Amino acid sequence: MNKTHAMLTLCLVGLSQILSTTAEAVEIFDMDEIRDPSTLEIEVIQNWRTVAGPVVTRQKLVTINVGEIWPGQDYRLPVRMVVPADRKARGIHLTGGNSPTRLERETRPRGIDLQLLQGGVGLVMTVVQEPGSYGKPELGGRSEARFAKSLNPHHKIQYWAWPATLMRAITTAYAETDYFEKGKVAVTGASKNGASPSMAIIHDDRMTALHASVSPIWDSPLRLCDQKAWDRHLADGGQQRGFSGGHFGPNFNQRALDAGHTWEELQTFANEISDQVFVSRNLQALRGRGVEMLFHPGTHDMVAYDMAWGGANHPSIPLYLGANSGHGKKGHLKIEHDQQNKSALLLRHFFPDEVREPLLTPPAIETKLTGHTLKVTVRFSPDSGEESGRIWWMNDRSPDGSPRYLREPIPDENTKEMTHDSDHGVWTTEITIDPTASQIDFFSNHRKTITYRKNRYRTYVSSPYTRIEF
């Protein structure tokens, strides 16, 4: 009995250690450290100074220590802060799509940033870029090599350093108590500057709004390293070259496999970390915090390559799908060139008393197939204020992430205006189905105009990307 008891105790202790190790392995950020200004090791490059312009500002440039990627390897980057000259800033528009060289120069705000400053919102600008782009390629290479061997997300710049940079930039600004009051923090950007804030906002409740373009949103099987999904999609492309299937960005699978890991280990890693990575797994908590979000993933993007899965599983996430858009894409002939979603989101978020009309939320979509005719009905909530409807479609699209998925555009002729049925409060249209097609993908875009200080902004939201197999 004593021997059995001892063995049971040993097993429980071992299990506890395993669970403890697993929990530590997937805990990416220490938020107490992220919020601690005493660890920033601030070096002042340009102290606060007045800068003339349409809005007179005060600006400061510093470098900060984001933290250690691995023991002994600091990650230092610049942060420029801009506030109105006549008051403290209340609220922050945070961006990482800058270069160190650009941040050395005083900022001359224009466009939406100028309007935000006029309203009392400050700007915080930092650098979320590949280290090679600012002369440190060896840092990126060492990071990738360490991650491929360890599968420790803290070693990978994409998982730890970039989101942490944005969060530490907020800490830097809030340490300047004579220049910033705590308020709303909206983060905007594209590609790595869409992915990084999408991850950071899950962890940092100081962030209150997000506009992210051509970046991941949800945890599709392809992202979770489902080997069957990979095999199926690779078969369509014929080879891995040109294939997109990374968990939260570019592929790391082959490098990890070459380093000795198995598909099962990749799947375990993806499943353990995904709660801390994907907005789709945190919708309830984000909405409970009142976070406002809008995504522009693109319909032909090498990073946001799983539109059909997302549309089927997360139809409530607000998207604008620019037809034939994505990294390096020109867009469809009839893409909405007048959309001003980012500006409208920021103005509505920071100045709700002046922009009382909300942006559109995703509508519901219904379909009915009769013979070779597909009737599509799109329904918004009552009194949403949508002004237009246009549908786009594509037959027999190749599997997510495959080269042909990214390469073959929506044909010029596969779009049409929808009809508004005011009696039933819906938008409708009919599509004639190609009798040789085995499936059809489609979505619709809808406009709403909002006003801020007599300026009108055209915003668009899409219905869920929908795939129907015949």
SS3 content of the chain, % helix, strand, coil (to 5): 35, 25, 40
273 and 397 fall within a common domain: no
299 and 158 fall within a common domain: yes
For the chain, give the percent of residues with pLDDT over 90: 84
Task: Return the higher-pLDDT residue of 9 and 161.
Answer: 161
Q: Quote the tokens at residue 291.
A: 């976070």
321 and 390 fall within a common domain: no
Q: Quote the tokens at residue 125.
A: 């600008």
Q: Is position 238 within any domain?
A: yes
Pair 204, 34: CB distance under 8 Å: yes
273 and 395 fall within a common domain: no
Burial class (CB in 10 A: 0-12, 13-18, 19+), 361: exposed
248 and 382 fall within a common domain: no
Rounded average pLDDT over 60-82: 97
Position 430 scores a pLDDT of 98
Task: Return the higher-pLDDT residue of 21 and 181.
Answer: 181
Position 14 scores a pLDDT of 38
Query: What pLDDT band is residue 23 in, cutting at 50, 70 and 90?
Result: very low
pLDDT value at 44 more than 50: yes
Q: What is the pLDDT of residues 356-400, one digit of tens each?
A: 999 999 999 999 999 999 999 999 999 999 999 999 999 999 988
Domain count across the chain: 2
Query: Among residues 289, 321, 350, which one ends one of the domains?
Result: 350
Q: What is the pLDDT of residues 158-189, one digit of tens each?
A: 999 999 999 999 999 999 999 999 999 999 99
184 and 43 fall within a common domain: yes
Q: Is position 458 within any domain?
A: no
Position 3 scores a pLDDT of 37
pLDDT value at 353 more than 80: yes
Identify the weakest region by mean pLDDT among 130-139, 254-263, 354-363.
254-263
Query: What pLDDT band is residue 243 in, cutting at 50, 70 and 90?
Result: low
For the chain, give the percent of residues with pLDDT over 70: 92
Question: CA 132 to CA 53: how far, in whole Å?
Answer: 33
Rounded average pLDDT over 456-460: 97
- Tell me the CATH number at 248: 3.40.50
385 sits in the region (left: phi over 0; alpha: psi -120 to 50; else beta) called: left
Query: Among residues 296, 323, 350, which one ends one of the domains?
Result: 350
Q: Is position 21 within any domain?
A: no
223 and 83 fall within a common domain: yes
Position 271 scores a pLDDT of 94
Q: Is position 63 within any domain?
A: yes
Position 5 scores a pLDDT of 42
Question: CA 194 to CA 211: how far, in whole Å?
Answer: 7
Whole-number Cα distances in Å, 137 to 43, 102, 134, 142, 154: 23, 19, 8, 9, 18
Question: CA 412 to CA 450: how far, in whole Å?
Answer: 29
Position 236 scores a pLDDT of 59
Query: Among residues 291, 319, 350, which one ends one of the domains?
Result: 350
- When the pLDDT of each residue in the chain is averaged and rounded to a whole number, the result is 91
Question: CA 154 to CA 454: how far, in whole Å?
Answer: 47
Identify the weakest region by mean pLDDT among 55-69, 229-243, 298-312, 401-415.
229-243
Q: Is position 79 within any domain?
A: yes
Give the amino acid at 15.
L
pLDDT value at 11 more than 90: no
Position 234 scores a pLDDT of 66
Q: What is the pLDDT of residues 80-106, one digit of tens each?
A: 999 999 999 999 999 999 999 999 999
User: 172 CB contacts (<8 Å, ≥6 apart)?
Assistant: 37, 40, 42, 62, 64, 79, 81, 124
240 and 183 fall within a common domain: yes
346 and 368 fall within a common domain: no
The 8-class DSSP code of residue 72 comes to T
Q: Is position 81 within any domain?
A: yes
- DSSP result, 10-37: HHHHHHHHHHHHHHHHH----HHHHT-G
Q: Is position 11 within any domain?
A: no
pLDDT value at 17 more than 90: no
Structural domain boundaries enclosing 392: 364-448
pLDDT value at 249 more than 50: yes
pLDDT value at 469 more than 70: yes
Task: Return the higher-pLDDT residue of 37 and 244.
Answer: 37
User: Of 345, 375, 338, 370, nearest to 359 (Cα)?
Assistant: 345
Q: Quote the tokens at residue 335.
A: 């893409």
Query: What pLDDT band is residue 10 in, cutting at 50, 70 and 90?
Result: very low
Identify the weakest region by mean pLDDT among 133-137, 279-283, 363-367.
133-137
320 and 438 fall within a common domain: no
Strands lying side by side in the sheet with 419-421? 364-370, 373-379, 426-432, 419-421
Position 240 scores a pLDDT of 52
Please tell me the pTM assigned to this model: 0.92
283 and 416 fall within a common domain: no
Query: What pLDDT band is residue 457 in, cutting at 50, 70 and 90?
Result: very high
To which residue do tokens 């950007």 refer? 189
Q: What is the pLDDT of residues 206-218, one digit of tens each?
A: 999 999 999 999 9
Position 327 scores a pLDDT of 94
pLDDT value at 109 more than 90: yes
Angle, vertex CA 96, rays to CA 93 and CA 100, nearest 5: 120
Pair 310, 401: CB distance under 8 Å: no
Handedness of CA 126, 130, 135, 136 (dihedral sign): positive
Enumerate the H helices of 290-371 as residue ranges.
Answer: 307-313, 341-350
Q: Is position 312 within any domain?
A: yes
Position 239 scores a pLDDT of 52
User: Of 441, 440, 443, 447, nearest to 464 (Cα)?
Assistant: 443
User: 166 CB contacts (<8 Å, ≥6 apart)?
Assistant: 94, 96, 126, 128, 187, 196, 197, 200
246 and 178 fall within a common domain: yes
pLDDT value at 123 more than 60: yes
For the stretch 10-18, contacts whose Cβ atoms lie closer than 8 Å and that sit 24 or more positions apart, written own/partner, are none
- Tell me the CATH number at 408: 2.60.40
Pair 335, 324: CB distance under 8 Å: yes
